[in-house]
Structure 1
Amino acid sequence: MTRWSAWRPVREPGESPYHDWWSRMERGSGHPQPTGRMHDVVPLRSLLPGARGKPVEPRLRMSNALTAPTPPGTWNAGFKAHLEAQGDWLPPLERLPVVPEGTVMVGVIDADIPLGHTRLCDASGNTRIAAAWQMGLPDGPDYLPFGHELYAADIDRYLSEYRSGPENRLDQSAFDRRTGMVNMKDRYARRALASRYSHGAHVLDVAAGCRPEGDQDPIAQTRVLAVNLPPRIAFGASGEFLDYYMVHALRRIVDLSDAIWLRNHPEPGDGPYGYPLVVNLSFGRQAGIKDRRGIFARAVSQLLELRRADYAPIDVVTPAGNDNLERMHAVASLAPGPEGAGEASELELRIQPGDQSSGYVEILFEADVEGLDPRYAPLEIDVVPPGGTPQPRRTRVNARSLWGEVAEIHCGMDPADRQDGKQLFRILVCVAPTSRPGDTGPCAPSGAWKIHLRNLGPHRLEIDLNIQTDQAILPGSTAGRRAYFDSPYYHRYNEAGRLLDTAATEPVPVNTPPGAPPGTPVVLRHGTINATASSKEVACLGGYRLNDGREAPYSSTGAGVPLPNDGRSAPTAALPTDDGAAIYGRLAAGSADGSVVAMRGTSFAAPQAVRFIALARLRGETDTSGSELLAEQARRDEAQADFPTGRMTVKSGAGRMRSPFPEPVKRL
């Protein structure tokens, strides 16, 4: 894992810079105060037996790289004692459901996932949701570190309690309140299921929904393991602590799937251990390490390494992201110079007014260890606020730097790679909110901040800059306004005023804008893929328009060049995310049972891929990874397609797939 540099102390040893900045800058902004800091708490042992004569390999802990503030009221005080006594975090096996032989498990990690929709019930009216971890709820059992959990029997009991009348209709509002999915009392709680649409409802329907009566859809043979992420206040407007919850959610789904298998197979036979499992994660962040060294990528790799040939397959599916046109990614190529003074560059960071959350820019580069002063990174940096002047002597990146308590630089580095001698350096620039209604904390000025960089090393530096995702904390609020990179060499529109996609402006990735002086940073669409999806060990899906095949302009673009460390240079494939240019999104379940809404984004390409893989697993196709199955089908569909538009591999990977999801209704 990345260890943030000990070159300068933080308040707690090993603390991440996100946590350090948040604890000083955000916790006083009227937010509920955390009661401590959560660490990696998942048990180290695997649940399933060793693979026929081979010992079970222990899991690895993520150490201090995986931490988050403890939200008040959700941490279960008895968990530590339970873990020490029992050694696992499982419920009693008798609480888990009996499932049909040949079941495929579908995991969904999302927000505002409904538990009572008819399309997630079988023909008898019983739920197909085997378990649902509600991460943000209080008063959970001691075997959970935080949150609460419902199982199929619990959900069926509540469904029976809140159904009435001759048609056995569900009082969904009462059901959602009873299961903790709607909370109108807590300012920061989840309540999207009380509105017209919710992200989790749409994703779950696309991944595993079907009509319960008289429908021969084979997806009805799947069972769902759901994890409802906590309110955004828990993991931050920029997803500062999202990795913590995503990693624990993924591990929980894997362990519950294995526990249900053990419940149904007390004496394992000769077949593979465990159920085939396909997990959808339609969340992510823009900034971060975009290869196997990232925190989430490490967690996925670890789980896959533990699943030997005698185990049923696990697939993790993620969206490419919707940041293609957001001007959140830039690169700079800086040559060395005589006596350590190499090329310099300057990039404008536009921080918007009215932004009530902190902004972050992650700057990453690798450098050869040979010839480096071990006390310093080979880079000089300065961040200048609007109207400010550069420091006469800029900061060598080896310490925290502060400007009037509204901005700060952190630097960390990975241990040098033993094979190529490269050191990964990570710089995090933190900027305070520009608005704090009703609060007295410091505010950063909005406008054009300038980031100055200079190469001080003996080798060329290839530098990546990414602005972290920024969204509002409060449900329905627009108070989280994204910063963006501003460059005169970036073209947003064509002569007709239409937004330019990657193909029109960046047929190939470049590291210096055409006609610009050497070292000038270039703001790119290439390389905007979601950091969570950037490892080749997960499937990554882009989006395209169904009527003409044009790739969705918002769908993020791969790097377009081969990347080391299993980094992803393109999505696996693409699936339809809009019906047409004037026909927004795709139809699937809304918040209310039986409702249908249109939602757009690559978040809804990913569950189509989950559905495709789950159907393949139900047919017995278990020897090929989900990514390979998707790529093979995409190539076949692309060869048979008759779209009038071309495509770019960096946006649609192996090709544009037909959707496996039968829309519940047709458009007028």
Structure 2
Amino acid sequence: MLRWSAAKPAQDDVLSQTADFRLGRAIHVDEPEDWWSVLLEIEGSIDDFAERAAPLAEDIIIPVAYDAEDRTVPASRQPLVVFARQTAIAAFNMEPEAYGILSLLLGAETPRRFLDRHATPPPMTEIPVSEDTVVMAVIDDGIGIAHNLFRTGPTASRVQFAAILEAEPLVRGSRASVGRALMQDDIEDLLSQCTRGAFLDEDLFYTATGQVNFRTQVFSTVALRRSHGTHVTALAAGYAMEDQVENRPIICAALPARVVEDTTGVSFLPSLYLAFHMLVKQARRFRTQAGHAPVQFNFSYGNSGGPHDGTGLFAMLFEYYFGAHAQCPQRAWLTLPAGNSNLRRLHAQAAGAKTKLDLDVLPDDRTTSEVQIWTPFNGSVEPAPVQVSVETPHGALSLIGTTDTMSQRLIDDNGREAARLSYEFVGAPVMRGLFLLNINATASHLDEVLAPSGTWRLEIIRDLGAEPTEVPPVEVWIRRDETLPGFRPGGRQAFFSNDDYRRFGKFGLPLAVDPKDTPSPIRRAMTISGFACGQSPITVASYTEREEVVSLYSGAGPLNRPSSPQGSDRDGPDLAAKGDDSFVLPGVLSAGSRSGTFVRQGGTSAATPRVARAASSAIGAASGTARDWARDPLRDHADGIARFALKDGTPQRSGSGGYAIEVQDHLPRPDAEC
């Protein structure tokens, strides 16, 4: 029988409730191979942190991607990715002040065989390039770097650098603390070794790069017919081999399959921060006669968490590298998708004195579920009073409020935890209260306590003290949890299921916009990706070409208002590009995992690299910022771009409108799909 424990007060609490919850689920706590990626925000320099953490040195690996220059730079707060054993993470979480840690985000479990404490930095020699060169930087999973669209000859690659974050390090000459870092020479040597006559053995190549090893259970979607990263990279930077394109060199980072399989918690961010750090440093190597070559980044992933106001670690990651005080010394733009959560019932608003939400947690869900409840922005550290109660499907009731940092745990008779409800106040620049509901998996092959599936009932109680229309609502988001295509089944998405939510219109088509004066707290508005709320990136929505409408799934604004001065001024995506050919032919054609193949994938992930491709032709001469260009791409660059009239476009759904962007360099006829 599961029951809620008594509320635990602040003085007994930890820096990160989510990290504490996830570590508590780990089965082999004391195994020496049990390493995790961790994103820290530290005060001072990396060298200062290393000195403070010297007693835990055997349990920490600071990646070699942070070179001597990086390690000596002081800052009031700066991000740092480390790999650590659970003993070190527990120490950081319980006593952060002793190590100068301001925040802690737990990443994914990382087997020791993927780590190399003794790696040496990759070479940073300059690469001279022509004046019209734009570096194409892609972060994704399953990037088929041997595809013929990324080569200029049978053994000549346009990929100048590839970080494979899930691969066993080389026995000698390792250039990465996690996985492998391959330079262009390494890639071309492997292409030569794996080419027989005029044919490349791509299965052998991806085994040689460490991306696929079925014997040791190393997996990448490049082993499948379709891989997300190859499809996206080809849309952004794919050119026919015979075209001999030299002015679009590629640098890329392939994320571990583990963090893509399980997107709950915050396991994604440490790998993402490390990937951006590695690529930003590599981009500095490309030099024209006038200076650094510009670089166009593309990251085609979305996320439903975060405060959704342009603050928080989700959005601030990109501001750190692309904002006004960016760490990237050359002109750098970033394209991000608006996300595909518009119809998934992952967002709700609590505007009245009492708001009830039905949360359906599905059976056979092998990943944890997480609900984030964000109170309105408050310029002080005393937010407006809010209480949250949670009732399990079996009737166990919990209740905590904003009066103090605290948590309650749902435990079994042996004290093992099945769920946790916690509250904390997130300081500057976010300045919001955050309730977190973490729920264990509902199915597992391991010996762990399971959370009950069924309807969990949430109630948000507010002391308004004024007319409801004058008080900003409490905003609620469920983190994306569903297993993506191509990965082992495991995650099943939890969702809100209140009876008053209208899913369909009178003709049976899903409603893409909230009905006027809807009484339901479940909303399609504010479903824009939590990654895409920042001030600097270009955020891309998706449209369906034949029907001339915004794609039903495409995430919408506005942002969470009010917010701090550091928040974003955006109201939704910046513009829309094609993500689907039609309702009956969803998705768009681009590269399959093997050379010469083409497959269909859709979503805002497919629309975004089309914009990255167009932006790469504009970045060198465009005046203003990336978003200035995105508000009117035709102003600075018109070749291959035409404005597309959307029947239902609004600033909150499609920004400055739909744009038809030609990507025909490598695509077959629509009836020639392989």
Q: Give the TM-score normalised by the residue count of structure 2.
A: 0.81
Q: Distance in 1 between the 2:648 and 2:35 partners?
A: 54
> Is this contact kept in 2: 1:327–1:525, CA < 8 A?
yes
> Is this contact kept in 1: 2:159–2:249, CA < 8 A?
yes
The one-letter code sitting in structure 1 at the alignment partner of 2:306 is G
Match of 1:103 in 2: 133
Instruction: Name which of 368, 373, 393 aligns with 1:363.
Output: 373
Matched, 1:290 2:292: no
Q: Distance in 2 between the 1:551 and 1:75 partners?
A: 44
Identity of aligned residues (%): 23
Q: Distance in 1 between the 2:354 and 2:646 partners?
A: 44
Match of 1:451 in 2: 458
Deviates more, 1:626-635 or 1:146-155: 626-635
Matched, 1:78 2:77: no
Matched, 1:250 2:257: no
SS at match of 1:646: coil
Q: Distance in 2 between the 1:616 and 1:329 partners?
A: 36
Unaligned runs of 5+ residues in structure 1 are 48-55, 83-89, 335-342, 508-512
SS at match of 1:35: strand
How many residues matched?
Answer: 599
Q: Distance in 1 between the 2:159 and 2:485 partners?
A: 28
The one-letter code sitting in structure 1 at the alignment partner of 2:341 is D
Measured against aligned partners, the alpha-carbon deviations of 1:6-65 in whole angstroms (never above 9, x if no partner) come to 92545xx53x32222111125569x99632554455648768xxxxxxxx9969522433
Q: Distance in 2 between the 1:642 and 1:482 partners?
A: 34
Match of 2:487 in 1: 476
Deviation at 1:202, TM superposition (A): 0.1
Q: Distance in 2 between the 1:35 and 1:591 partners?
A: 31
Match of 2:355 in 1: 345
Deviation at 1:97, TM superposition (A): 5.4
The one-letter code sitting in structure 2 at the alignment partner of 1:429 is L
1:251-290 pair list within 5 angstroms: 251-258=277-284, 260-261=285-286, 271=290, 273-290=291-308
The 3 A distance-change label for structure 1 pair 622 and 78 is farther
Match of 1:659 in 2: 661
Matched, 1:210 2:239: yes
Match of 1:19 in 2: 19
Instruction: Name which of 82, 104, 110 aligns with 1:65.
Output: 104
> Is this contact kept in 2: 1:320–1:530, CA < 8 A?
yes
SS at match of 2:374: strand
Deviation at 1:105, TM superposition (A): 0.8
> Is this contact kept in 2: 1:46–1:59, CA < 8 A?
no
**Considering only aligned residues, what root-mean-square deviation do their CA atoms show, in Å?**
3.4
> Is this contact kept in 1: 2:255–2:271, CA < 8 A?
yes
Q: Distance in 2 between the 1:254 and 1:453 partners?
A: 43
> Is this contact kept in 2: 1:573–1:631, CA < 8 A?
yes
The 3 A distance-change label for structure 1 pair 595 and 251 is same
Instruction: Name which of 398, 409, 422 aligns with 1:410.
Output: 422
Q: Distance in 2 between the 1:6 and 1:163 partners?
A: 63
Q: Distance in 1 between the 2:34 and 2:560 partners?
A: 43
Matched, 1:92 2:131: no
Q: Distance in 1 between the 2:634 and 2:512 partners?
A: 22
> Is this contact kept in 1: 2:526–2:560, CA < 8 A?
no
Deviation at 1:283, TM superposition (A): 1.5
Deviates more, 1:407-416 or 1:221-230: 407-416
Deviation at 1:559, TM superposition (A): 1.7
Match of 2:166 in 1: 136
Q: Distance in 2 between the 1:310 and 1:198 partners?
A: 29
Deviation at 1:624, TM superposition (A): 3.0
Match of 2:317 in 1: 299
Deviation at 1:284, TM superposition (A): 2.8
Deviation at 1:243, TM superposition (A): 1.2
Match of 2:206 in 1: 176
The one-letter code sitting in structure 1 at the alignment partner of 2:482 is Q
> Is this contact kept in 2: 1:379–1:397, CA < 8 A?
no
The 3 A distance-change label for structure 1 pair 153 and 537 is same
> Is this contact kept in 1: 2:373–2:474, CA < 8 A?
yes
Deviation at 1:602, TM superposition (A): 0.6
Matched, 1:623 2:623: yes
Q: Distance in 2 between the 1:173 and 1:57 partners?
A: 45
Matched, 1:118 2:129: no
SS at match of 1:383: strand
Deviates more, 1:234-243 or 1:320-329: 234-243
Q: Distance in 1 between the 2:240 and 2:302 partners?
A: 30
Q: Distance in 1 between the 2:263 and 2:559 partners?
A: 29
Match of 2:521 in 1: 522
The one-letter code sitting in structure 1 at the alignment partner of 2:369 is G
The one-letter code sitting in structure 2 at the alignment partner of 1:471 is E
Q: Distance in 2 between the 1:277 and 1:640 partners?
A: 24
1:265-664 pair list within 5 angstroms: 271=290, 273-304=291-322, 311-334=329-352, 343-366=353-376, 368=378, 378-388=385-395, 390=397, 398-404=405-411, 405-415=417-427, 423-436=431-444, 438-456=445-463, 458=465, 460=471, 462-472=473-483, 476-502=487-513, 505-506=514-515, 514=518, 516=519, 522-559=521-558, 564=563, 565-566=567-568, 568-617=570-619, 620-633=620-633, 643=645, 645-662=647-664, 664=667
The one-letter code sitting in structure 1 at the alignment partner of 2:215 is K
Match of 1:338 in 2: none
Deviation at 1:665, TM superposition (A): 0.9
1:225-240 pair list within 5 angstroms: 225-232=251-258, 236-238=262-264, 240=266
Deviation at 1:248, TM superposition (A): 1.4
Deviation at 1:156, TM superposition (A): 0.6
Measured against aligned partners, the alpha-carbon deviations of 1:78-134 in whole angstroms (never above 9, x if no partner) come to 36xx6xxxxxxx42335x755445421111000010111111012574100010011
SS at match of 1:355: coil
Measured against aligned partners, the alpha-carbon deviations of 1:553-607 in whole angstroms (never above 9, x if no partner) come to 0111112786641154210100011111111210000011110001111101111
Q: Distance in 2 between the 1:150 and 1:367 partners?
A: 45
The one-letter code sitting in structure 2 at the alignment partner of 1:276 is P
Deviation at 1:330, TM superposition (A): 0.6
SS at match of 1:554: coil
Deviation at 1:315, TM superposition (A): 0.8
Measured against aligned partners, the alpha-carbon deviations of 1:248-279 in whole angstroms (never above 9, x if no partner) come to 11121110111x23xx57xxx6x3x4220111
The 3 A distance-change label for structure 1 pair 329 and 595 is same
Deviation at 1:294, TM superposition (A): 2.0
The one-letter code sitting in structure 1 at the alignment partner of 2:656 is A
Q: Distance in 2 between the 1:310 and 1:455 partners?
A: 44
> Is this contact kept in 1: 2:163–2:180, CA < 8 A?
yes
Q: Distance in 2 between the 1:248 and 1:613 partners?
A: 24
Q: Distance in 2 between the 1:174 and 1:411 partners?
A: 50
Match of 2:185 in 1: 153
The 3 A distance-change label for structure 1 pair 27 and 410 is farther
The one-letter code sitting in structure 1 at the alignment partner of 2:532 is A
> Is this contact kept in 2: 1:382–1:390, CA < 8 A?
yes
Deviation at 1:241, TM superposition (A): 1.6
Match of 1:201 in 2: 230
